[in-house]
Amino acid sequence: MELATLIRFRRELHQIPELGFKEFQTQKYLLSCIQEMANEHVEIQRWETGILVKVSGLNPTKTIGYRADMDGLPIEEETGLPFSSTHNGRMHACGHDFHMAIALGVLNNVIEHRIQDDVLFVFQPAEEGPGGALPLLQSDAFNKWKPDCMFALHIAPEHPVGTVASKPGLLFANTSELFIDFIGKGGHAAYPHLSKDMAVAAGSFITQIQHIVSRGLDPLDSAVVTIGKMTSGHVQNAIAETARLEGTIRTLKPSAIEKVKSRIENIAKGFEVTYDCQINLDYGSNYYQVYNDADYVQTFQEAMTNCGIVFKEAKEAMTGEDFGFMLKDIPGFMFWLGVDSPYGLHHARLAPKEEALVVGVKAVVHTINQLSSKEN
């Protein structure tokens, strides 16, 4: 498939970002593209706002799975591009428009040049939240065509076009959202003794939980507890009756994230007594670590050498990806695709270089071929 077609796919998808499990327009667009490519060797299933596409092999002994995520982010785009988002407050700021365009390009290639094995393309909704991978894994639709291996890519703004990066073992961290609501008693600023100030309670709570990593965990268990948003009160001369903290927990070990949560819960119990208030905890979306199978990474590296794409050894990162649930259940791997953008992931000015689209298609096609030629 020519770069111009891939660019058209990407730009048309870039203009219609939608949030998790609301990707109705995106699903409709993808289905129209897929149905135009499809022939008698292609089967299509819908799942929620996602799509599963199976291309039958010539003489299959296994099914190779490839995933592309679909959803956008609640970010107002600031790129100034002529094909900017037409949905106010929504943007493909994590590169899922790239992921879907590349998957369409690979699908077209596999349809036109069938291989020995079956190939399952998974267009997955809600990666950014609330998490589509786990319920998809548990669905009848997925298990009807459950693959023997799975892989996926993610764009990497820090890597140049023409390069990919991966590593065996841990690639992405275990992550959890964190929402904490404080409920006290409001009142006049002149009479604090008649109130229960939740701005003070929440402020103190932020400081207290920062000790969890430094004093509550083994120093070798890397972890991050970040509060990125705090809201409280309505006016400067009234004591805040409520407060809300929003943040994230990230660890390199599954056991460490449970320790962090346990410590937060114990601290919350103490604060309820100390500040005579009610505290409600919600962990939102939780993602399992992305842990790459060493043999599959080796196969991927060999495929990149054979097709002339530069392979780099990646480092583990505290980023989260719900593809980790798939790799927990099915062997495989994820890799970074260099797109050379001065602005990083989740930035309102993220602008990946579109030449990377053909590199992505080439990398995935050669990997599928390499996996198909590999003995079971």
As annotated, the active-site residues are 69, 128
**Strand pairing class (63-69; 149-156):** parallel
Closest among 300, 317, 316 to 363, alpha carbons compared: 300
Instruction: Specify the residue for token string 């309505």.
Output: 234
DSSP state at residue 308: T
CA torsion sign, 340 to 121 to 311 to 333? positive
Q: Are 333 and 149 in contact (CB under 8 A)?
A: no
Token pair for 57:
């092999």
Whole-angstrom distance, CA of residue 138 vs CA of residue 143: 7
Whole-angstrom distance, CA of residue 33 vs CA of residue 154: 22
Helix (H, G, I), strand (E, B) or coil at 239: strand
Cα diameter, the chain: 80
**Strand pairing class (163-166; 332-338):** antiparallel
Helix (H, G, I), strand (E, B) or coil at 172: strand
Whole-angstrom distance, CA of residue 114 vs CA of residue 129: 34
Cis, bond preceding 352 (omega within 30 deg of 0): no
Q: Which residues, other chains included, contact 19 with Cβ-Cβ below 8 Å and sequence gap of 6+?
A: 71, 72, 73, 74, 90, 128, 129
Instruction: Specify the residue for token string 């060999």.
Output: 302
Q: Which residues, other chains included, contact 110 with Cβ-Cβ below 8 Å and sequence gap of 6+?
A: 55, 119, 365, 368
Instruction: Specify the residue for token string 């069938």.
Output: 114
The number of helices, as runs of H, and strands, as runs of E, in the chain is 11, 17
